[in-house]
Amino acid sequence: MAKRVVDVHEETQGEKVLDDWFAKQALASLDTLEAAARSILGLITALLGVLFGVLAVASNPLPGYLRFPLVRGLGVISVAALLAALFGALKVVLPRRVELSSARPDQQAQAFQDLLDHKSYWLKVAAVAFGLGLAALGFTLIVALLTAV
């Protein structure tokens, strides 16, 4: 077993344990990002159902609160943001083709980092869009409740 040199001293047992822990966390990161994206996908599906129920576009005549431009505007913002979050979450969980040489650890490390960066970026996009969509949905519900006759 090769010994690593840390700074100017041999690696201590504590440093080895810490290094092993970080290596495990790095490998588990992809699974964690995908699990978070799948959670967002499930939540978006439920929230879009709630939003369409509130907007009740199939109702004839339309509910009174839909006469207010604020309710319609917030509804549009909510749908757009939730669909953007859905897109971002799908970018995290959909498989991507990665070509690399199995004999090149540097290529493997770079491919892993690229994959991690890609999933992390799109999960951030999904989370921000989800937050905006959730806030717009909350405001839509509040305005609809306050203006319902």
The Cα–Cα gap between 3 and 11 comes to 7
pLDDT category of residue 55 using cuts at 50, 70 and 90: low
pLDDT of residue 22: 67
The Cα–Cα gap between 83 and 86 comes to 5
pLDDT of residue 115: 85
Tell me, yes or no, whether 80 lies in a domain: yes
DSSP 8-state secondary structure symbol assigned to residue 68: S
- Quote the pTM value: 0.71
Q: Based on the structure, what is the number of domains in the chain?
A: 1
Mean pLDDT of 12-28: 72
Tell me, yes or no, whether 43 lies in a domain: yes
Whether the pLDDT of residue 17 is over 60: the answer is yes
Tell me, yes or no, whether 2 lies in a domain: no
pLDDT of residue 56: 62
Tell me, yes or no, whether 133 lies in a domain: yes
The Cα–Cα gap between 29 and 127 comes to 16
Whether the pLDDT of residue 31 is over 70: the answer is yes
The Cα–Cα gap between 141 and 75 comes to 9
Q: Which two tokens stand for residue 48?
A: 């879009």
Residue 29 burial by Cβ neighbours in a 10 Å radius (0-12, 13-18, 19+):
middle
pLDDT of residue 77: 93
DSSP 8-state secondary structure symbol assigned to residue 62: P
**β-pair partners for 6:** 9
pLDDT of residue 99: 79
44 Cα distance to chain centroid: 11
pLDDT of residue 57: 60
Q: Look at the chain and count its residues.
A: 149
pLDDT category of residue 58 using cuts at 50, 70 and 90: low
Tell me, yes or no, whether 69 lies in a domain: yes
pLDDT tens digits, 78-101? 889 989 998 998 888 888 787 777
Task: Supply the range of the domain harboring residue 115.
Answer: 9-147
DSSP 8-state secondary structure symbol assigned to residue 8: T
pLDDT of residue 5: 53
pLDDT tens digits, 100-145? 777 777 787 788 888 889 989 999 999 999 999 999 989 988 888 8
